Structure 1
Amino acid sequence: MITLEESIDVTRPPAETFRYVSDFRTTAEWDATAFRARKDTPGPIREGTEYLVDCSLPVGSVRIRYRVTALRPGEFIELVGNSRLFTVTDRITFTPRDDGGTHIDYVADFAYKGPLASLEGALREGMERMGRKALEGMRHALEDRPPPPVISSCNERADRMVLPGLALFSRLGYRRGRKRWEPLSADLSGRHAVITGASSGIGRAAALRLAELGASLTLVMRDAGKAEATVAALRAESGNEAIRAELADLALMADVDALVTRLKTSGEPIDILVNNAGALFNPRQETAEGLEASFALLLLSPYRLTRALLPLLEAGGGARVINVVSGGMYSRPLEVRKLVAREENYSGSVAYARCKRALMVTTEQWADAWAERGIVVNAMHPGWADTPGVESSLPGFHRLTRRILRSPEEGADTVVWLAAAPEAGEVSGLLFLDREPRTTHLLARTAAQETAEEREALREFLAAQEAAFPADVAKSAAAR
């Protein structure tokens, strides 16, 4: 048997360090030998929780199935791993320090199988180096001080060449990008996130991960049955009980206003606002309030909601607003006069792309206007993700691309990173894909049409729409 013993000290408190390290999916972030890890048991981490961790070896790879055999939250966890080559018992202890940080003791007992058992003496030195490197990786992850995000040279080239840039919207782009990522060990305990469109797809995946990071969640959904089921499922999976739902059809301004009133009445500051709700409408539809549905849901609604919630965002101190846009916006320039789609030559995908383009510009304008208030505003697009919305609204696209589509979790990753990562709070007014700032225009023609005059026209248009549709008008329109 080979026993590895290592210790490190970190400035984070024990509860935070335990939350991060006990979720063994994070081994792929801090252990250089681990390249993939997943949780294989539903529910919160407890005795019996299992993980599958794939590790690199000099002559191939090995899959280790870990099982949590003992734990005391914030203090101790023990896991037993089994592979075709060895068994290992990991014991990790978290001891509070006088300065508020944590002393971490790591002990691992390796027992090799078959012919390798006779080579333990020769393997010992390499294993000890591996243990030291793993604990240094853990220390790096828990110190959580990455530099501000910048675009990589390879993605910058891909964006200039257009087609390579589009290809990175696939699962390939996600897997390629994650090789450059810093660990995400943020703890969101005490932070309040409001997420719209959280019953499925990107919104639900983001909600689950933020709940696992400790955030309290307010999830905005239309359907009462789905809302109840979603809250119950997320509580059961994350172990986080601080999850509640608010019902609102965000295509209706009356519902937006009523939601704002309820949130303001609660008085709870908002640290994270994710404007994710969306749909692609074919054929053209109008809401009960007489608004074209794409414009109402995709642009006017997040505009009205976010501006109305400014007092709660300011109260949070360092709040973050995340607008979910779409790669489809690259195909359309900013054309204010076409934002409200007409019957003639209507296309749901075009209407969607135009509104998302306008939301991107609005993101930049808010970032400038609210910088002194300490509010960070960024946009992201999830790439091509396999969500119920994509399957139902773009069935042809879904059939052609389903083998290369991202999972909802992969699509939602940048939402979570923008909400949680310290370095993501250092930049504002940018568009992100796979945790990197990306160009807002792949095509020269769309960039050329986005003049200062057109951007100002958008600001004036949305302000006029808001003024022309005050709360009392919204209520009376919805009642008709």
Structure 2
Amino acid sequence: MDTIMIQLRESIAVKRPIQEAFAYIADFRNTREWDATAYAGEKLTPGPVRVGTEFDIDCKLPIGSVRIRYTVTRLEPNTLIELTGKCGLFEVVDLIALDEEAGTTRIEYQADFSFSSALKPMASAAKTGMERMGRKAVAGLEQALNDDFPAPAASSGTATADKLLFPGLAMFSRAGYTRGRKRWNPISAWLGDKHIVITGANAGLGLASAHRLAEMGARLTLVIRKQALAETLKQEIVDASGNSNVHIEIADLSLMSDVDALVSRLSDRGEAIDVLINNAGALFNPRQLTDEGLEQSFALLLLSPYRLTLGLKPLLAKAEQGRVINVVSGGMYSQALEVESLIMPAQGYSGSVAYARAKRALMVITEEWAQAWEDDGIVVNAMHPGWADTPGVESALPGFHRITRRILRSPEEGADTIVWLAAATEAGEASGQLFLDREPRTPYLVPSKREAAEQRDQLRTFLAEFDIGAHCETAA
């Protein structure tokens, strides 16, 4: 059968090393970041991008919405990638060639669409629109690779919603994520020279973050509690991403002796830490004590990240720009900072309240560190993932999970802001802030929960002088 051809040809030049540009383009899921017609993308083949790797890209084209199955048919590292795409309406061959000269990478983009003769009227009518689409897409790629986006700021709609309790809470759902992503900038930053430490990396947000950051080329140190999971976890991430730079550290972060030992091991390695992601956490009901006699919520959720981050500060300062990301929770909005209540007694104990109080305190510490460490070149921010469907939420809050499961975010959606804070160039221009869906948010949806300066001073003193022996309890 005769075919009708539409050819697109575009050329751009960007100030990026060729290996960085190639790495970003070769992961064709990133099309959704720079091509306005692409609204979803999925990599179907595990491992590194190679000949035979498949992607599904959902696009809105002048001829209608289509899902295109792309297959990599040629691959010459840092030089050329060719993909063949097929859908019910056409076939397309995308050829992207790269060449570097004097620090500039030139990219030649070519797309050849083939329509059957039966679709000739549709193809002819769509030609002008598709040519315009091609120019716009390549201009989007140029913008993505130039990576010159403004410092993060809340949109007017978000700022208004945060002044009102219920609209602000509504953004915690999947709808908030969907709303937010419409305004997001691409993340083309190169992570191949970055070392990222993630605690609580074996499930939920930590695992989702580890997968995505491994795909982006980072060297990962993943901190988990159980040795039995180590080899399986490492192999899972290596197989999925093709990135073998994955190191596992075993530590029960509710035990300060394990935290201190972890700091010692990482310090002995001497490798600068570009990003520390304090993600490990759990909600404990009923009240429990650690083997060191500490109330477990306080130990794991507050004292542990405090002690770990302070211990690793020299390694963060060694990086070009160290970043700390503290994962907090929307539950903190319900609690004010009460230092004397951070270690909840057995009488009246509530796991969710203990969790929220610890996260409130961690948010305050985030702001304090950001100010104190500015001269050290360390950026410190907090994020909360919204309502995400993680194993921890399902097991610790079964009632909440049952009621909200239809509007919960996936772990990948909940972890998106962690990845953005770790990777995006512009995220390094903000410090001491709370982020949700890549936007700075108020730490106080309820004004009455704002603490006084004296309470901040009290928290600093309490944690700085914390002596485990003075605060431990006995099981009896």
| Coarse TM-score class (shorter-chain normalised) | over 0.9
**Aligned-pair CA distance for 1:144:** 0.6
Instruction: Confirm whether residue 231 of structure 1 aligns to residue 266 of structure 2.
Output: no
1:311-460 alignment runs, 5 A limit = 311-447=314-450, 450-460=451-461
Q: What are the superposed Cα offsets for residues 40-81 of structure 1, whole Å, 9 maximum, x if unpaired? A: 222221222211111113464111111111212221111111
What does residue 30 of structure 1 align with?
A: 34
Q: 1:34 to 1:286 in 2, by over 3 A?
A: same
Q: What are the superposed Cα offsets for residues 21-57 of structure 1, whole Å, 9 maximum, x if unpaired? A: 1111111111111111111222221222211111113
1:283-294 alignment runs, 5 A limit = 283-294=286-297
Q: Aligned partners of 1:93, 1:265: CA distance in 2, in Å?
A: 43
300, 303, 312: which one pairs with 1:300?
Answer: 303
180, 194, 197: which one pairs with 2:197?
Answer: 194
Instruction: Confirm whether residue 91 of structure 1 aligns to residue 95 of structure 2.
Output: yes
Query: 1:268·1:312 contact (CA, 8 Å) conserved in 2?
Result: yes
Q: Aligned partners of 2:121, 2:60: CA distance in 1, in Å?
A: 21
More deviation, 319-328/49-58: 49-58
Q: Structure 2: which 5+ runs fail to align?
A: none
Q: What are the superposed Cα offsets for residues 323-366 of structure 1, whole Å, 9 maximum, x if unpaired? A: 00000000111111100011001110000000000000000000
Q: What are the superposed Cα offsets for residues 284-316 of structure 1, whole Å, 9 maximum, x if unpaired? A: 000000000000000000000100111111111
Instruction: Confirm whether residue 71 of structure 1 aligns to residue 75 of structure 2.
Output: yes
SS of residue in 2 equivalent to 1:244: strand
Q: Aligned partners of 2:254, 2:136: CA distance in 1, in Å?
A: 52
Q: Aligned partners of 1:385, 1:141: CA distance in 2, in Å?
A: 28
Q: Structure 1: which 5+ runs fail to align?
A: none
**TM-score, length basis structure 2:** 0.96
**Aligned-pair CA distance for 1:122:** 4.3
> Counterpart of 1:222 in structure 2: which amino acid?
R
Instruction: Confirm whether residue 8 of structure 1 aligns to residue 12 of structure 2.
Output: yes
Instruction: Confirm whether residue 249 of structure 1 aligns to residue 252 of structure 2.
Output: yes
Query: 1:325·1:356 contact (CA, 8 Å) conserved in 2?
Result: yes
Query: 1:84·1:113 contact (CA, 8 Å) conserved in 2?
Result: no
What does residue 271 of structure 1 align with?
A: 274
> Counterpart of 1:464 in structure 2: which amino acid?
E
> Counterpart of 2:417 in structure 1: which amino acid?
T
Q: Aligned partners of 2:252, 2:130: CA distance in 1, in Å?
A: 57
Q: What are the superposed Cα offsets for residues 396-451 of structure 1, whole Å, 9 maximum, x if unpaired? A: 1111111111111111110111111111101100000000000001112212xx00
Instruction: Confirm whether residue 152 of structure 1 aligns to residue 155 of structure 2.
Output: yes
SS of residue in 2 equivalent to 1:78: strand
Q: Aligned partners of 1:457, 1:387: CA distance in 2, in Å?
A: 34
**TM-score, length basis structure 1:** 0.95
Q: Report the identity percentage.
A: 61
Q: Aligned partners of 1:128, 1:176: CA distance in 2, in Å?
A: 29
Q: Aligned partners of 2:122, 2:318: CA distance in 1, in Å?
A: 61
Q: Aligned partners of 1:402, 1:351: CA distance in 2, in Å?
A: 23
**Aligned-pair CA distance for 1:117:** 2.6
SS of residue in 2 equivalent to 1:309: helix
What does residue 463 of structure 2 align with?
A: 462
Q: Aligned partners of 1:317, 1:289: CA distance in 2, in Å?
A: 37
**Aligned-pair CA distance for 1:164:** 1.1
